[in-house]
Amino acid sequence: MTRNAEDLRGIEQIGSPEDVVRAPTSAFVARFLSDATLVDGVVADGTFTSGSLTLEAEGSGPGTLAILPTDIDIVPGSADDTGEVSGTVTSSLFGRDASDVLVHCDDVDFRCSTRGPRPEVGETVGLSVRRSFFYPH
C-alpha cells in the first residue's frame, strides 16, 4: 500500500490482505483500509488518555490509538461495568452483513460495525473496545 502523490513516503505495509487489514502497522493503514477511529493521546501504565477519554492500551508515551470498527462492541446503557465509554448514536446505517454506527463520545466519533439490533440515532449506548493499536509519535 502506498500513499498519495502529495505524501510520498513509500510503501506503508507489505503482507497478505488478511494481515494488512487485521494488523495494520500504521495509523494511516488502519484508517485507509478499515476506516478506523484515530485518537491522539498518551499511554501510561496501560491506560490511554485523550482529554476525558480513557481506554486500556498497550504501549507508552504520546501517540495515536487506532480502533477498528469491528473491534468495538456496542452495549446497552452507559459507561459502567459493561462498557468502557458511553456516547450518543449520531448515525445508524443498515448494512447487509453488519450495520455502520457512529457514536460520539468525549469529542471522538467512534465508527462501529455491529451485527444484530441497530441502535437508533439519539440513543445513549456504551462501547467496549476489544482491541486497539497504539502507534507512538
Q: What pLDDT is recorded for position 67? A: 96
Distance CA 65, CA 70 (A): 15
The answer to the question of residue 8 being in a domain is no
Query: In the prediction, which pLDDT does 5 show?
Result: 45
Cell of 83: 462498557
pTM of the entire predicted model: 0.85
Instruction: Say what the pLDDT of residue 78 is.
Output: 62
pLDDT value of position 4: 53
Phi/psi for 29 (5° steps) reads -65, -45
Question: How far is the CA of 19 from the CAs of 16, 24, 25, 68, 108, in angstroms?
Answer: 5, 7, 10, 14, 27
Q: What is residue 84's predicted lDDT score, i.e. its pLDDT?
A: 78
Determine the pLDDT at residue 44: 97
CA–CA distance, 6 with 84 (Å, rounded to integer) = 38
Residue 9 is assigned to a structural domain of this protein: no
The low-confidence residues of the chain, meaning pLDDT below 70, are 1-9, 78-83
Q: Is residue 24 part of a domain?
A: yes
Helices in the chain by DSSP H: which ranges? 17-22, 27-34
Closest CA to 120 of 91, 97, 99, 96: 91
Q: Which three cell numbers stand for residue 116?
A: 444484530
- Confidence (pLDDT) at 109: 97
The answer to whether residues 48 and 40 touch, using CB atoms and an 8 Å cutoff, is: no
Residues spanned by the domain of 98: 17-136
Q: Indicate the number of domains in the chain.
A: 1
CATH code assigned at 108? 2.40.50.140
Whether residue 2 lies inside any domain: the answer is no
